[in-house]
Structure 1
């Protein structure tokens, strides 16, 4: 068995974007793409800056060769070799841990190139290291984050953010909007489409009949009108009736303060959160160290670490690569080309 095949299967090519070069992205990417378990599952090719990866390897005291390739198909997968589609966008003296429009623009370009490769079928999935939203905006790329950026780059009208940990998985009806705006945006059609995307993702991940718990908006899911103004009955119940008629096992609306506990003990395969913090808070308590962020609804597979650029520890060799390792594992498992020779 070698780095190209596992048994009779051709391992999927995964484009790994380096993220913001001033953050911990390079430090989590290098050990993750060299990991033996990673190389047994996929063929990772970094899209980033070769020199920054070399700097990261040096400060981590990792003995490896960082090799620039023109295309993922040109990569060779050998021990202690990091393959990188080198865009060469960062200055050699870029400070670690400091907000930089230059790094923000580079992070955008890495994602753009990876999306082009995925849409063209040259890689089977994208796995992203963290970018910094403020740096991204300072560079003139006004996207709330990876989710919306990838939707734009792939021409996708609507996608959903899913967070995955060992204990719980959650998909969001709304994400990067203010709470008041989120409540206004929530409507039966959006809730139903989110449930369907979550159902499809779980089936694709090997859960043939997922049990899906759908959170309410108000405390205690409104408690029969005691809290709120009937949002659950107006915005969520019709969606649940629609997806149940399609054979999807969606239950709710559930009080969010208990739904995640029930999911963590196995009652639900997936939780549908109505807004960003309703889903993110419990997930990060239950497993941020190995959490993975997935964008559901794209024409390509995309997974990501579930943490930020961590400027406070960048360049110090302190970053943990666990989330990146898990993101690569899930990207490999979800890749449609995993069992297809290319």
Structure 2
């Protein structure tokens, strides 16, 4: 699925203040730095945003040389507040020369990915950057380095003081959110309960309104079992947990429908009739999504006060440093973060300064009707 960014008038775009986009470098032995370089080497992207990369100039120079890039230019700044518009800025999170070993899953890769993420999130909390885009991490190596969360989503939810966040995959008009994310499949059934499903429906509905500007979102809810349980023949979760959650959502005036069997739902393109899709578990939602939008999909952490996006692929150690990595997902992640930030800001402004209600004029009857 092609994620075509709407064409805008360049003159109008240039008059808007660029959004300050913080970018964590990800695992330095993977493709994160490469897709960052490829995404930012075209100056057109600098009209919309001011990129601030959290890593080191030495590490980025290593990756630039590895892929024989001659277009990517950057400048070092000591602090994000010193970042210059229409330039790519790098905040050095470490000064030592790092032994980059492309394609290898090493603890050092996790160490520097964690340092980058920590500094970027600190600056996000301090208001030095507007949004955060995270390059891919290796869960194995970053856990070795002391990272105690299943992934970015859970880490950012904890920092934001939220018990949970909503993991959403986005490509154009296709938006797939998850009830459960980074947990074993055997634990999914324990977690797929009515209250949690309802909460996720509510969060998805809020995000579609606040982050994407959709006034009356239509939400499709997938079943858990094959054929959505086949009326109890293949499981009772649809009848006992999912359908009651949908009904409660509808009582709250949320346009939620389902549960739908996942295979037929994606296979028949039924998703095109909805603004958002809620899947029960990770692979149920992401298999359908990535089959349709592998190259330009974006991982968006919804339900938080901050804006965070990420490309929908991993570290891809097998192709690191070869120049073969596709940067479209990273570029889409940057643009989506900018769009969501501006949508949130616009909606906040119009709600703070609504148009005053005009007093209703008393209706006047025609002269012939007066008594």
How high is the TM-score relative to the length of structure 2? 0.85
Equivalent residue for 2:57?
Answer: 50
Q: Answer yes or no: is the 8 Å Cα contact 1:33–1:82 preserved in 2.
A: yes
1:38 pairs with one of 45, 48, 69: 45
2:84 pairs with one of 76, 86, 99: 76
**In 2: Cα distance, 1:199 partner to 1:90 partner:** 46
1:217-296 aligned within 5 A: 217-228=224-235, 230-263=236-269, 266-296=272-302
Structure of greater relative contact order (alpha carbons < 8 Å, 6+ residues apart): 1
Q: Answer yes or no: is the 8 Å Cα contact 1:14–1:42 preserved in 2.
A: yes
**In 2: Cα distance, 1:53 partner to 1:183 partner:** 43
Q: CA deviation at 1:9?
A: 2.2
How high is the TM-score relative to the length of structure 1? 0.92
2:160 pairs with one of 154, 159, 165: 154
Instruction: Provide, for residues 258-279 of structure 1, a one-character-per-residue CA deviation record: whole Å limited to 9, x for no partner.
Output: 2224556621221100001100
Q: CA deviation at 1:239?
A: 1.2
Give the secondary structure class of the aligned counterpart of 1:9: coil
Residues 1:164 and 2:170 are matched in the alignment? yes
Q: CA deviation at 1:116?
A: 1.5
**In 2: Cα distance, 1:105 partner to 1:153 partner:** 19
Q: Which runs of 5+ in 1 are unaligned?
A: none
Q: Which runs of 5+ in 2 are unaligned?
A: 1-9, 349-371
Q: CA deviation at 1:338?
A: 6.2
1:15 pairs with one of 22, 27, 50: 22
Residues 1:333 and 2:339 are matched in the alignment? yes
Structure 1 residues 84 and 338: alpha-carbon distance in aligned structure 2, compared to 1, 3 A threshold: farther
1:127 pairs with one of 120, 124, 133: 133
**In 1: Cα distance, 2:43 partner to 2:76 partner:** 21
**In 2: Cα distance, 1:135 partner to 1:149 partner:** 16
Deviates further, 206-215 or 56-65 = 56-65
Instruction: Provide, for residues 52-111 of structure 1, a one-character-per-residue CA deviation record: whole Å limited to 9, x for no partner.
Output: 111122233224443221222211234xx5311111266432211111112202111212
Instruction: Provide, for residues 184-235 of structure 1, a one-character-per-residue CA deviation record: whole Å limited to 9, x for no partner.
Output: 011111111111111122122122222110001111111111111x111211
**In 1: Cα distance, 2:51 partner to 2:193 partner:** 39
Q: Answer yes or no: is the 8 Å Cα contact 1:151–1:157 preserved in 2.
A: yes
Q: Answer yes or no: is the 8 Å Cα contact 2:168–2:178 preserved in 1.
A: yes
Provide runs of 4+ in structure 1 moved above 6 Å. 337-340
Q: CA deviation at 1:316?
A: 1.3
1:116 pairs with one of 119, 122, 128: 122
Q: Answer yes or no: is the 8 Å Cα contact 1:27–1:319 preserved in 2.
A: yes
**In 1: Cα distance, 2:324 partner to 2:85 partner:** 27
Equivalent residue for 2:356?
Answer: none
Deviates further, 101-110 or 173-182 = 101-110
Q: CA deviation at 1:27?
A: 0.3
Q: CA deviation at 1:141?
A: 1.5
RMSD between aligned alpha carbons?
2.1
Q: Answer yes or no: is the 8 Å Cα contact 1:159–1:297 preserved in 2.
A: yes
Deviates further, 90-99 or 197-206 = 90-99
**In 2: Cα distance, 1:264 partner to 1:335 partner:** 29
**In 2: Cα distance, 1:322 partner to 1:311 partner:** 18
